[in-house]
Chain A
């Protein structure tokens, strides 16, 4: 597709379950970001990839959160032993270049609800 694609769009998990959220960035985009958006809040940075290298994971809230982008294209955000406070929309974004010289394109997000 032409845009950033995320799946699943909606995920309901029981507390303690593991979840995996997928992001297909725009083809050829070097930079990939994950953001977490709680209800009524602005997106908050989780992690950044430049191709397959995870250069910044300072925003990951705990060691239960793990992200990878093994071949420099598709990325997966994994949350282990989900907690209720993990309920949020997880947004993926990609940019063609590394530096701020191009538009950042966002997907529609994956809404996670932890019961």
Chain B
């Protein structure tokens, strides 16, 4: 069975601080994908990044960066110089590779990030 754990339920920071959201996953698949989604108050899940299990290179996109480490089954997300607009719930997710399941996502429970001015 697949599982995603986001141990941080809530994080509160002051604007311009850096913040890291932790994600630990469990899977028996050798091929899998990891994701981060942002859920603002409107409710729609916004895609941020997808990584496959064979690509452990870290990625940076503007103020966002991701650290994927297979050795510790972790896929952490860092926001540099946080802004109030970053306030949202962030979900880490894992997808299976089976065609019959459509590569469905297994989500963590989310981390509520609040950035205060």
Also in contact, A42 and B108, with CB within 8 A (given A55-B100, A56-B101, A99-B103):
yes
Partner of B110, one of A42, A100, A111: A42
Residue count of chain B within 8 Å CB distance of chain A? 27
Majority-rule SS of B interface residues: mixed
CB-based contact A48/B104 at 8 Å: yes
B63 interfacial contact with A, CB 8 Å: no
Complex CA gap A93/B91 in Å reads: 15
Contact of A100 with B97 in the complex, beta carbons under 8 Å: yes
* Residue numbers in B under 8 Å from A89 (CB-CB): 43
Known: A55-B100, A55-B102, A100-B95. A42 touches B107 (CB 8 A): yes
Query: Looking at chain A's contact residues, is the secondary structure mostly helix, strand, loop, or mixed?
Result: strand
* Chain A proximity mask over B93-117: 1 for CB below 8 Å, otherwise 0: 1010101111111111110000000
Interface residues of B (CB under 8 A from A): 4, 6, 33, 37, 42-47, 50, 91, 93, 95, 97, 99-110
Extra pairs beyond A42-B93, A100-B95 (5, CB < 8 Å): A93-B45, A98-B99, A104-B105, A109-B43, A111-B43
